[in-house]
Amino acid sequence: MIIDSHCHLQMEDYSNDLPSVLSKAKENGICSFIVIGFDLQSSIKAKELSQKYDFIHPVYGIHPYDTKEYDISVFSELEDLIREFPPLAIGETGLDYYRDISPKDKQKNFFNRHIELASRYNLPLVIHLRDAFNDAYDIMKGTNRRNDILHCFTGQENDINRFSEFNMYFGISGIVTFKNNELSKLVNLIPQDRILIETDSPYLAPVPKRGKRNEPANLSFILETISNLLGKDKTHLINMLLENTRNAYRYSFNEC
Ligand SMILES: [Zn+2]
């Protein structure tokens, strides 16, 4: 059994064909989907999908890009959602300095508040970081957070080492299949019980689907690549990833 540990199936991109996207995934052995909110509306939609399908599980939060749209009152709305339908985690939150979309101070403030929320409800955090590893490390160091999830890892070797101080899980996306990517050289350096895989659909479609809308069925290309990089046969790898995903999200997940 394979789990897509990070995707956005609540997006408009799937409004016409979600049932066939799901059945295609299941044909490829992917039978649970963690659907991640990135703003209030998408968190609500993640909840609604999870109410409709028992193999979909929601995560609620405000992506760093979207922080500029909100003031802190949004956190009481996120709390309402948590009480209505408990999520597997809080996020995606974090810091993104690659694009200058939301002010850094706002991003940091929201990251801190997501951390408080996750701690209050004893949930893991799903963290998005791009070009902001130093600030995120400083923020995390001031907390006692452990066992959170750094999704779509794009850092360096030294980031694996320092974020491992927090017993972080590292999500590997389709980037690992791209030509001349840096990530392939690092996969072997991540502690094996800390590796997760994700599509981040509809973004980051792996080779040979690069440039198209991504979907969970494409997880098989990422699996294949990681299996080669780690020199691990696929069955063994799938079992390892299932165990890791269960531990990271503290949930057992149903069989297909
Ligand atoms: Zn995402």
Q: How far apart, in whole angstroms, are the C-alpha atoms of residue 96 and residue 101?
A: 9
Helices vs strands, H then E, count in the chain: 8, 8
Which distant-in-sequence residues (6+ apart) come within 8 Å of 49 by Cβ? 9, 10, 35, 56, 58
CATH classification of the domain holding 30:
3.20.20.140
Per-residue pLDDT of the chain (256 residues; tens, 9 = 90+): 999 999 999 999 999 999 999 999 999 999 999 999 999 999 999 999 999 999 999 999 999 999 999 999 999 999 999 999 999 999 999 999 998 789 999 999 999 999 999 999 999 999 999 999 999 999 999 999 999 999 999 999 999 999 999 999 999 999 999 999 999 999 999 999 999 999 999 999 999 999 999 999 999 999 999 999 999 999 999 999 999 999 999 999 988 7
What letter represents residue 154's amino acid? T
110 within some domain: yes
Tell whether 254 is covered by a domain: no
CA 36 to ligand 1 center in whole angstroms:
6
Residues 6+ positions from 236 with CB-CB distance below 8 Å? none
Domain count, the chain: 1
C-alpha 194 to ligand 1 mean position (Å):
18
pLDDT of residue 112: 98
Residue 53 has a pLDDT of 97
pLDDT at 144: 96
Instruction: Report yes or no on 213 lying in a domain.
Output: yes
How many whole angstroms from 63 Cα to the centroid of ligand 1? 8
Is residue 45 one of the residues assigned to a domain?
yes
Ion ligand 1 neighbours (CB, 5 A) are 200
Please check whether residue 256 lies inside any domain of the structure. Answer: no
Residue 18 belongs to domain spanning: 2-249
The amino acid at 11: M
Helix, strand, coil % in the chain, rounded to nearest 5: 45, 15, 35
* pLDDT value, residue 254: 86
Cα–ligand 1 centroid distance for 200 (angstroms): 5
The β-bridge partners of 172 are: 197
Phi, psi of 20 (to 5 degrees): -75, -30
Residue 255 domain-assigned (yes or no): no
Q: How far is the CA of 5 from the centre of ligand 1 (A)?
A: 10
* Global confidence as pTM: 0.97
CA of 154 to the centre of ligand 1 (A): 13
In a domain, 23, yes or no: yes
7 CA to middle of ligand 1, Å? 6
